[in-house]
Structure 1
């Protein structure tokens, strides 16, 4: 449990080194150091490998400070080709297992980028219904981490982030960066967007 938590904190704070030493075996102390210079990019790559991916994937990652939400965001994601959505979210390095406005913003941004690309490429028309934001992230493995001056949590635990400004800030940033990723990889983008749009139409 300690090792997993230290590993998580190291992923979320690039440049931080944490060493854990197990001294229980007499004369056989074991030490492990957690340090991930690429932060959430390394986190997503590790999650993808743990999910069984045999090939290195193209991880998109960015960091941005936004005064509107009085904090910073670090986001990394890749499209794995599966039907699952694996989003791990954090606020001030604490896991938000129920999600919150940062996760809603991530989904908004993905939906907006997919819709814009699909319209430009003729994969959708303006008459088509907007994609279901709750499902548009299928196939993405992502880490969405925000560090806020004044985090607001809903409920009795810290599992759900409630800062309203965070949603728009994260959404805009994700839309911008995923849109750039699509333009830089047109063949891959066409494959991803066509599959997502087709899946929405099949439903």
Structure 2
């Protein structure tokens, strides 16, 4: 082997930045180049619009799958300026669409997280053959066009505007993706989930790709997590021995708030869903705290009512979970996740705070509903003997 073949120095290092890096390794930014990646493209663009509603600056978000294969995301907020975004501390629209955004949004617990890595719509721009932006602000309509992450026209006035808002449309690049058709069902499921976790959010999804099969859904759930539990139990025919127990609680020790709703049915299946800042999780300190609190409240009540003797062991969490449907949602100023996929919440204080809140509220409910409480304990004891 020659010296030239084996030599390696700085001249061999290829440095890719901006849109080039995104297009070279799209999976690092959106997860895949299949349908899952397309979903995250939609979520990265919709994220800003959703947070406009949660901040009270807009009232609704509309997502449309267009006949020409594009995706259109519109909100009725104040409209993002093309310059610096005033007192919000955020970038103007052109910077938002052409520069990498990193780090959590400024809203902390008040921001929902939709995308894969939270890199912002620039990633979508880089992976789209075309993107357009329309802003209605202060009586003027502004438009600009982009291609593969680069602005191809300057911002230009396009006439007078009625109302205000921002519309971003993009067309996924077929040179990048295995398919450019976004899955309606998966998008609808995630948007429904977001509306269930955020009472103030109203969001619609419309599919106009096939004129003879146009469909549209609109989501808004004033009942929050309570409505979520009802939805999760909608397919079960087993009767519910308890009503839905729901509460919200803010605790400065974890710099955040928790919303919990749960109930038991005569089904043997456990359905526990957990979320952190509206992001689905597969476990973590919030879910552990919920289970701690439920077990503590049930066992304390059972011993107080002599449903368990001094020699009986505690009712285990695995038995307590049978037939339990629950939604545990925390919204934190500083969420800490374990691992790069951010599927497990790590904040240690959250376990303590959620556990104490659940134990207190469930304990109060058990004391106030003795017949249902006895039915729950009896069911759990029966499950233990199966």
Q: Which residue of 2 aligns with 1:116?
A: 300
User: Residue 234 of structure 2: SS of its match in structure 1?
Assistant: helix
Match of 1:126 among 297, 310, 319: 310
Matched residues in 2 for 1:185 and 1:108: separation?
21
CA contact (8 A) 1:85 1:140 kept: yes
CA contact (8 A) 1:111 1:136 kept: yes
CA pair 9-53 structure 1, distance change in 2 beyond 3 A = farther
CA pair 53-8 structure 1, distance change in 2 beyond 3 A = farther
CA pair 191-105 structure 1, distance change in 2 beyond 3 A = same
CA contact (8 A) 2:241 2:375 kept: no
Matched residues in 2 for 1:50 and 1:15: separation?
26
Matched residues in 2 for 1:16 and 1:190: separation?
38
Report the structure number with the largest CA radius of gyration: 2
Q: Note if 1:187 corresponds to 2:371.
A: yes
Stretches of structure 1 lacking an aligned partner (at least 5 in a row) = none
Q: Which runs of 4+ in 1 moved over 6 A?
A: 54-57
- Tell me the CA shift for residue 182 of structure 1: 1.3
Q: Which moved more, 1:13-22 or 1:28-37?
A: 28-37
- Tell me the CA shift for residue 131 of structure 1: 2.6
Q: Which residue of 2 aligns with 1:176?
A: 360
Matched residues in 2 for 1:147 and 1:106: separation?
15
Q: Which residue of 1 aligns with 2:173?
A: none
Q: Note if 1:50 corresponds to 2:241.
A: no
Q: Which residue of 1 aligns with 2:221?
A: 36
Matched residues in 2 for 1:136 and 1:26: separation?
50
Q: Which residue of 2 aligns with 1:137?
A: 321
- Tell me the CA shift for residue 74 of structure 1: 0.5
CA contact (8 A) 1:70 1:150 kept: yes
Stretches of structure 2 lacking an aligned partner (at least 5 in a row) = 1-185
Taking structure 1 as the reference length, the TM-score comes to 0.91
Q: Note if 1:76 corresponds to 2:261.
A: yes
User: Residue 143 of structure 1: SS of its match in structure 2?
Assistant: strand
Matched residues in 2 for 1:125 and 1:52: separation?
34
CA pair 136-57 structure 1, distance change in 2 beyond 3 A = closer
CA contact (8 A) 1:71 1:147 kept: yes
Q: Which residue of 2 aligns with 1:24?
A: 209
Matched residues in 2 for 1:28 and 1:93: separation?
31
Higher relative contact order (CA 8 A, sep 6+): 1
- Tell me the CA shift for residue 62 of structure 1: 0.7
- Tell me the CA shift for residue 163 of structure 1: 0.7
Taking structure 2 as the reference length, the TM-score comes to 0.49
CA pair 35-53 structure 1, distance change in 2 beyond 3 A = farther
- Tell me the CA shift for residue 27 of structure 1: 6.2
- Tell me the CA shift for residue 195 of structure 1: 2.0
Matched residues in 1 for 2:331 and 2:366: separation?
27
Q: Which residue of 1 aligns with 2:339?
A: 155
CA contact (8 A) 1:41 1:61 kept: yes
CA pair 143-189 structure 1, distance change in 2 beyond 3 A = same
Q: Residue by residue, what CA displacement relative to the aligned partner does 1:7-36 show, whole Å, maximum 9, x if unpaired?
A: 000000012100111111226643211000
Please, what is the CA RMSD of the aligned residues? 1.9
- Tell me the CA shift for residue 87 of structure 1: 0.2
- Tell me the CA shift for residue 130 of structure 1: 2.4
